[in-house]
Amino acid sequence: MISLCLLFLLNFISGVSSRFTLNPNNCEIQNTKNNCLDIWGCMWCNDTEVKNVSGECRLINICHPPKHNSSCTISDYDYETECYLSNMTFNILIFLAFWSSIYIMLYYTHKLLSQSGMNNSSKGIVLCLIFLILFFPTLFLYITPSLVFYYWLLAIIFVSIIYCGSYETYNYKHSRYQMINQDAI
């Protein structure tokens, strides 16, 4: 089931990325205005200084298309909707990755603290501190437009995967040794 979900997610991401990552050469090889405007993500600009050339085809930034009074012409395609949908999809994936990583860390910390015999009030304090240490820096970095947010998010995801794997490995080895000892008695 998990592999099927991962396969679907990878297929979805590859479909989204193939739609929004264009090869700039696709635009640059177009020689006519009509051919240029037929390709998604290209615009025709008449600001060239080369003689005998009526313009050139360039790649467009779909989230910031040129103004209508510029020397560039874009197709009538609704790029703002594409930009909105891609940003929304990306933010949903970031949201899911962050909250699942936090959940994994808090879940395995709770299991570890329960095995150690810590009382409930102390467990609550430790879990609350871990949540605050992870949540507020992430919120601050998300609000500020910085690339550090992506590195921070990748670090949280990486640490949660390592934490989950190391806990399960420890738990597997620990339970296996207990079963051998119980059979010997």
Summarised one tens digit per residue, pLDDT across range 9-58 is 555 555 444 444 555 567 777 788 888 888 877 888 876 555 555 778 88
* Burial class of residue 91 in the structure, from the number of CB atoms within 10 Å of its CB (0-12 exposed, 13-18 middle, 19+ buried): exposed
d(CA 85, CA 97): 18
Contact 174, 168 (CB under 8 A): no
Alpha-carbon separation of residue 9 from 4, 15, 104, 176 (angstroms) = 9, 10, 19, 34
Question: What's residue 173's pLDDT?
Answer: 65
pLDDT digits (tens, 9 = 90+) for 127-157: 899 899 888 988 888 888 778 888 888 888 8
Domain ranges of the chain: 20-77, 90-184
46 secondary structure, DSSP code: -
pLDDT digits (tens, 9 = 90+) for 150-185: 888 888 888 888 888 877 777 666 665 555 555 555
Question: What's residue 129's pLDDT?
Answer: 92
d(CA 167, CA 40): 48
